[in-house]
Amino acid sequence: MALNYLASISRYVPELLSVVIMVGLIFIEACYDREEKKKPFFYLAAFFGLTFVFVNLAASLGKPATMIFTGSMTIDPFSTLSKMLMVLGTMGAIYLSKESKDIYDNLKSEFAIMAVGVMIGGMILASANNLLMVYIGIETLSILSYALASFKKDEERSSEAGLKYSLYGGISSGIMLFGMSHIFGMFGSIQFADIIAGINGLSTAQLAVLLPSFIMFFAGIGYKIACVPFHMWAPDVYEGSPLPVTTFFSIVPKVAGLAILLRVTMTFFGQEGALQVTWVGALSVIAALTMTVGNVSAIGQRSVKRMLAYSSISHAGMMMMGVVVINELGTRSILFYAITYLFMTLVAFYVTSFVADKYGNDHFERFSGLIKRYPMMAIMMTIVMFSLAGMPPLSGFVAKFNILGALLSEKHYMLALIAVLNSVVSLYYYMKIIKLMVLKDVESMEPIMGFGVMNQSIILVLTVPVVALGLFWSGIMRLTEGASIFLGP
C-alpha cells in the first residue's frame, strides 16, 4: 500500500518534527548572546522536542506498515523501532555533552544541533526503500559526523579524526555510488521493488556479474557500521572525538547502518538461491572478522574510551550475526540486542566520561578503587561490564542468547562457536575494569564532580533496564515480534 503525497506526510511526522527541532535549536542558539542564559531553555527545548518525537514514534508502532512518497520510503514497525532507538541514543549523547567537560562550553549547543541532524539522516536510512534514499541517508548521516569528529578544534587528534573520517567516508560513498549506478544500469530503476523483481528474472551468470555491485553497495553500509575491513577509521575517530561524540557514534550510526543492512539483506537476498548463499557467506565472514578483530584489538588498550570503542565494533559484529540468518528470529534478536546495547553503552560511557573529566584522561587506572568512593557507581559499572560480556542474568546475556538462538535455528554452528568464544575474550577486558574498581585500592579520595546526585540517579535509572531485561524479556521480545515484519516490495 503506497500513500499519496499528502497522506505520506502524516506518516513522516517524526522526521519533520526532528527537522523542526533542529532549526528551532539553531534559532534559540542564535537568539541568546550569553551562554548561561541560553543553556536551560536550549536543553529543555531539545529534550522536550526529542521526547515528543519518541512518543510520536511509539504511538505509530501499532499502525500498519506502509510505503510513502511513491514507494521511496517504508514506514514499518521495524524502522519505527530503530528510529526510537536512535532518538534515545541521541538524547543520551546530548545529555552527556551537557555534563561533559570534553566539549567546550561554547560548542555544546552545536553538538546538540548536529546530533539531531545526524539522527535525521539515520531515520531516513532506516526507512529507505530505494537506492537514492539510502545514499541521501548515508550522506546526511556522514557529513555532520565529520564535523562532530573534529569538534576539539585546537587538538591535533580531533582534526585528524575528522579528516580521516571524511576521507574514508568520501571514498566509501564513492564506491557505494558506483555499485548503485551499476545496479541501476542493470534494472533501470532505483526502487527496491523493481530491483527484486528484476533479480528474480536473472540467470546465474547475470547474477555473478551483479554480485560485485552489491558488494560495493555494501561498502558504504559497512563503513557506517564500522565492520571489518571497513573499520580502519573507527579507532582513530573514536579516540580523537570528544567522549560524548564517541558515545553518539557508537550508537546512532550503528543502529542506522544495521537497519539498512538488514533491510537490504531481507529484501534482496530473502529468497533462497545462489545469490543468497554468496551474500550470506560474505556476511558471515565479515561478521566473524568484525567481532574477532574488535575484541582482540580491545584487549591491549590503555584508554577505556578506546576499549569501549573497539568493543562496540565487536558488538556490531555480533549484531550482524543476526543479519546472516535471514529469519524473523534474527531480526528480533538484533532489535533486542540494540535496545540493551543502548542502555549498556550509555551507562559505560557516562561513568567513563565523568571519571575522565576528573583526571583529564580515561586510562584504566583511573577507575582504581572506585567502589570505595562511589559504591553505587562502581556497582552499576560492574553490572554493565558483566552485561556487556554476556553474563546471565543480565540483559547482555539475553541479547547474546537470542543471537545464538537465531544462529543455531539456522544451523550455523561454527558462527555460534566463534560468537561465544568472542564473549570469553571480551570478558577479559571488561573484567579489567571490574578488577580495578573493586579489587584495587583507591588512589585518592578526591570527589568526582560529575557524580552529582542528578547524574548518579540517571545512571541508576539507565542500569535498571540492563538488569530488568535480563530477567523478564518476554515483553520486549513480543514488541520486536511485531517490529520484525517487513513490508514487502
**Cβ neighbours of 170 (radius 10 Å):** 13
DSSP alpha helix (H) spans, 269-393: 274-299, 304-324, 328-359, 370-373, 375-389
Return the exposure string of 22-50: e unless at least 16 CB atoms fall within 10 Å of the residue's CB, then b. bebbeebeeeeeeeeebeeebbebbeebb
Site for other proteins in 34-93 (CB under 8 A): none
Which CB atom, from 29 or from 481, has the smaller least distance to other proteins? 481
Shortest Å distance, C-beta 370 to other proteins: 14
Shortest Å distance, C-beta 183 to other proteins: 32
Task: Say if residues 131 and 64 touch (Cβ distance below 8 Å).
Answer: no
- The answer, yes or no, to whether the previous bond of 393 is cis (omega within 30 of 0) is yes
Residue whose C-alpha is closest to residue 153's, from 115, 110, 91: 110
Specify the long-range contacts of residues 205-211, CB closer than 8 Å, at least 24 apart: 207/274, 207/275, 210/182, 210/183, 210/186, 210/275, 211/275, 211/278, 211/279
| Span of 48-56, 96-104, 290-298, 390-398 interacting with other proteins by CB under 8 A | 390-398
Which CB atom, from 217 or from 473, has the smaller least distance to other proteins? 473
Shortest Å distance, C-beta 313 to other proteins: 20
As separate numbers, helices (DSSP H) first and strands (DSSP E) second, the chain gives 21, 2
Is 391 an interacting residue with respect to other proteins (CB under 8 A)?
yes
| Span of 56-64, 239-247, 336-344, 396-404 interacting with other proteins by CB under 8 A | 396-404
Binding residue for other proteins, selected from 71, 273, 392, 482, defined by CB under 8 A:
392
Which CB atom, from 409 or from 457, has the smaller least distance to other proteins? 409
Task: Say if residues 95 and 83 touch (Cβ distance below 8 Å).
Answer: no
Is 468 an interacting residue with respect to other proteins (CB under 8 A)?
no
Distance CA 392, CA 389 (A): 9
Q: How many residues bind other proteins (CB under 8 A)?
A: 31
| Span of 30-38, 149-157, 203-211, 401-409 interacting with other proteins by CB under 8 A | 401-409
| Span of 15-23, 173-181, 194-202, 397-405 interacting with other proteins by CB under 8 A | 397-405
Is 442 an interacting residue with respect to other proteins (CB under 8 A)?
no
Q: Which positions lie near other proteins, rule CB under 8 A?
A: 386, 390-393, 397, 401, 404-405, 408-409, 411, 413-414, 416-417, 420-421, 423-424, 427-428, 431, 435, 438-439, 472-474, 477-478
